[in-house]
Amino acid sequence: MRDGKELVLHVCHLYPDLLNLYGDRGNVLAFIKRCQWRNINVCLHRVELGQSVDFKQFDFLFIGGGSDREQHILAQDLAKKVSSLAAALEEGLVTLAICGGYQLLGKYYQTAQGEKIPGLGIMDIYTVAGEERLIGNVLLECLVDGVPGQLVGFENHAGRTFLGEGVQPLGRVSEGYGNNGQDGYEGAVWRNVYCSYLHGPLLPKNYKLTDHLISLALARRGVNLELTPLDNSLEEAAVQVMVQRLLKK
């Protein structure tokens, strides 16, 4: 309860039937479950093709990955929503975008044939198709809520993404390829928008990042609430198994 009103976080899953590659929906489930374990109520909104929407009403937005076919299907519909989406992201909507969702937020995707497919142009990033897919488990060194830590996940993408002005990488690659297999970085952070090529899904494998996104969503609501500690022993053990496995390669 807050000021006599029940606290409810509104979560938006954008195009859940089209952008759900490699179980990306698990990111939404992890966000919701870790809220509910703390008695934070959540209302899930599934936004589909053709549905009008005001993104400013949401506290957390998830955009998953999809194949080229799915992204082509939704491109026209998403163009109608871009002004609302851009305004909400500029204002600080907490967002997680994975793989294709990550690429869509950028300026363009250049195909292997040299064709430039326009993106939403919200973030200063662009993506170029590579000749070979970048596939495998990934280990990142990064800061989560200002604290040094590690993220683990699985990548499988042909696109090589490059960051522009004002966009910071999510982390430095210790194992794997990352954004483009060249500069040693993975993902992107701009305002409250977190982007990554890591499936897995990302949030169930990395509970600290999940809690950070929950804290950001609460803070945007003006709720500076210290999250109730949870027993993360199993989650931490799973992370460390992957870290040790990747470091021993």
A 10 A CB-CB count for 3 gives 5
- Amino acid identity at 160: R
How far does Cα 160 stand from its chain's mean position? 17
Looking from the CA of 71 toward its CB, the CA atoms found within 13 Å total: 21
The residues annotated as belonging to the active site are 99, 199
What tokens were used for 100?
């294709």
Round to whole Å and give the CA distance between 205 and 47.
Answer: 25
